[in-house]
Structure formats: structure tokens, C-alpha cells
Amino acid sequence: MKKTLYNCIIIGGGPAGARAALELSKFTNNILLIDYREILGDKLCTGIIGKECAEKYGLAEYLIHNEGNSADIINPSDNKFHLKSDNPKAFIIDRAKYVQEIIQKAIKNNIQVFYQSRVTNITVNKKYAEVSYTRSGIKKTICTKSIILASGLESKLISKLNIKPINKENILNGSQIILKNTEKITNTKVFLGSRFGSQGFGWIVPTFKDELLIGVLTKSRSKNILHQFLNTITDEYNLKNMDKKLIKSWGIPIKPLIKTYSDRVLIVGDAAGIVKPVTGGGIYYSQISADIAVETLKIALNKNDFSEKFLSSYENKWMDAIGTEIENGNKLRNILFGFEDNLLDNLTNFALSNKFITNILTSNKSSFDNHFKSVLNFINNQKIMALFSKSKYSKIKEIIPNMKKDIF
């Protein structure tokens, strides 16, 4: 029997894989998505997307857990600063349902989905690529003209393509637990300081479902740090019936692969390390990379050219779109998360108590999806520069000049 030759097989059904499936289905057929899960999109994630992402890709109201138009910033000395914008800058969403909605649209356009199927190998030859997978204990191999690899961080399939995986130094560790919101907390809370380990921070995010997402992101051992964090906030936030065995952990890349393409293969989303470095958010950038991968494959399918040389344009395009933001976002992360507790206390007390500064931070010029651009607008503002330069604390005076030196 003649084997089916797919136009594209998408490996991984998260935001990147789902977006790729939908966009491909708009102009070609014979598309297959493979995922090891039974429920696509069901992955540990705080599920925060910015306003720009919602506007670009759409966001149904029923998917929104909470609107991010206010937040409390808590510094190392536990001083609290409340920030509020006129309009939401971000949305806390139901990630699984968000992904499933995209997938369902693609299914209506006749893509196939193999659930509970784990891809074990990829081999590429001059005529096609072979994808081996296991389903219900049965091993099978199928053929395709092209592959979009959207299988998440540290995918073992990367090594099959002779591409060096992401260095462990460029991976953050996240841990989170979901608890009942017994105190009816309404604001997202962000906690800063060395207690969260190297380049770490903590959060409490309320949802409309009367739940709290409590977690940490750090280069250190996130699960241990979350244990300690929960111990310090249990009484203040009345955290009851807490089973720490329900803590879940995951890894987040903050720098891309050195190469995101190969013969017949394009790598997108977390698998490629295409993530916002400051917060570790991946939903928006993963879909941008998927869009660009589909744009590249559309031409490749027309030309029947899936060579590494031809597909290299994908990397050039996503680098043009978000590469600068990712590169400078990493510089920004090193700066912002390199402050010692004493300086963080002085900086937050100085900046977040100043109405002019907080108005800038919460204005339309401040973006949840483009952190570097937002910070650039901030440090280039003449009034902001003047305020910092007049500070009585010498290290605050030096912050903006030092940031400009380190970034440029």
C-alpha cells in the first residue's frame, strides 16, 4: 500500500503548533498534528498574554480568567506599591482552552490530529522526512514533505537534527501551585528580591475562578524556593488546605537555539527558545514564530524546495521580527535581576512612590509584550532622566547611565 505523504507534520500541540496548524490549513491540505497529550494545550503555565497578542490573534471573552490592569509590586523589605492602568495591559487566560479553540478551527479546515502519540524519531532524506511515533504501544512511521517542530523545551528530537540544544545556563526554572482564593485577592502581586534565587521573582495571580496561581521563576531550584515562599505568605493570604505535593515545575528557555531550521524542518516556540526573556512568557512569541514558519513553508511547498538553505530564510524573518527584542530582553533581564536587595528597596521606594514615574509605567507607551522597547522609552524620557539624576542616592543616579552603557 502506498504511504500517505503529508505536506506538513506538526509535532506538538501547544500555542505554536496550534497556530501553525491553523495557518497552514488555510492554504493547503494533508496536514497532521501529533501530540502526546489527550487534552491539547494542557501544560503548566500562568497563562498571561499581553494586549498586543490578544489584538493580533483574537481572544474570546470566555477564555479570560482575569484582566491585568493593576498589580502590586512587593520589594525585598515587603513594602507594597500599587500600580493601575486605565485599560488592561494583559489577560490571564485559560491556556488549554485557548489552544483548543485554535485547534478546533484548524480541524474544521480538515487537518488531522493524532492524540496520545509520542514522536520518537525524525529522519530526513532527499525525497521526504520520516516521523516515527508510538501510539497505544504500537510503533509506526509516516512520511512528510516538511516538519514544524513545536514540541517544547529540551525536546530530544532536536538532537536528531544535529542541532546543539539550549545551554542549561539559558533555562529558567518555574514552579507553581494553584490554591483557593479564600481572601478574595483581586490584584496580581509580583515579589522581588534575593529570596527568589538568582534572577528570580515570585507571583500571586488571582483568577475569576476564585483560585490563586502562586509561583516563582528563577535560575535556582524553583521548587525549594516556592516551598519557602509559601511558608512566608501562608498567614498573610490565609492559604488553607495547602498540599505542597501539588506543586508543578517546568523549564523556560530565555535564549534561542543557535539554529532553528534544518533540511525539511523548522523549529518554533519553546522548542526554538523563542520566548520573552524578562518574564519567560512564551504564548505570544511562539505564535509569531509559527506564523513566520508557515509563511516560509508556503513558498517552499510552491517551489518544492525544503532544503536547509531555502528554509534558512525562516530564521532571518523571525530575527527581524522579534530577534532584537529577545537579545536586548536578555540584557535587560541581567540588569533588572542583578540589583542587590538594598538597591531594589531604594529603587522601588524612589520610583514607585513618584506619581509621574508610575504614570509613565502604566501609560500606553508601556507594553507587556515588548519589554525592551518599553524600558527604552522610559530611560530616554528627559523628565525621567532628570528625576533620577537628582536622587540623593548615588546608585540610583547611576542606574540610567549604566543601563544605557550595558545595553548599547
pLDDT digits (tens, 9 = 90+) for 275-334: 998 888 889 999 999 999 999 999 999 999 999 999 999 999 999 999 999 999 999 898
Amino acid at 89: K
Residue of 65, 80, 93 lying closest to 237 (CA atoms):
80
Buried b (16+ CB within 10 A) or exposed e, 244-273: eeebeebbbbbbbbebbbbbbbbbbbbbbb
Amino acid at 74: I
- The span from the CA of 24 to the CA of 108, in Å, is 12
Average pLDDT, the chain: 91
CB atoms under 10 Å from CB of 209, counted, come to 12
Helices (H) and strands (E) in the chain, counts: 15, 20
**8 phi, psi to nearest 5 deg:** -155, 140
Q: Which residues contact 274 (CB under 8 A, 6 or more apart)?
A: 256, 260, 268, 282, 285, 286, 288, 289, 318, 322, 326
Q: C-alpha grid cell for residue 232?
A: 512566608
Q: Calculate the alpha carbon distances from 186 to 8, 88, 212, 215, 219 in Å.
A: 44, 14, 10, 16, 28
| pLDDT tens sequence across 186-236 | 889 999 999 999 999 999 998 877 889 999 999 999 999 999 999 999 989
Q: Which stretch of DSSP H or E encloses residue 95? A: helix 95-108
The whole-number pLDDT of residue 11 equals 97
Percentage helix, strand, coil for the chain under 3-state DSSP, each rounded to 5 = 40, 25, 35
| pLDDT tens sequence across 329-378 | 999 898 888 899 999 999 999 999 999 999 988 888 788 888 888 888 89
Q: C-alpha grid cell for residue 212?
A: 490563586
The whole-number pLDDT of residue 154 equals 67
Domains of the chain: 5-45+95-166+257-324 (3.50.50.60), 168-253 (3.30.9.10), 333-407 (no CATH)
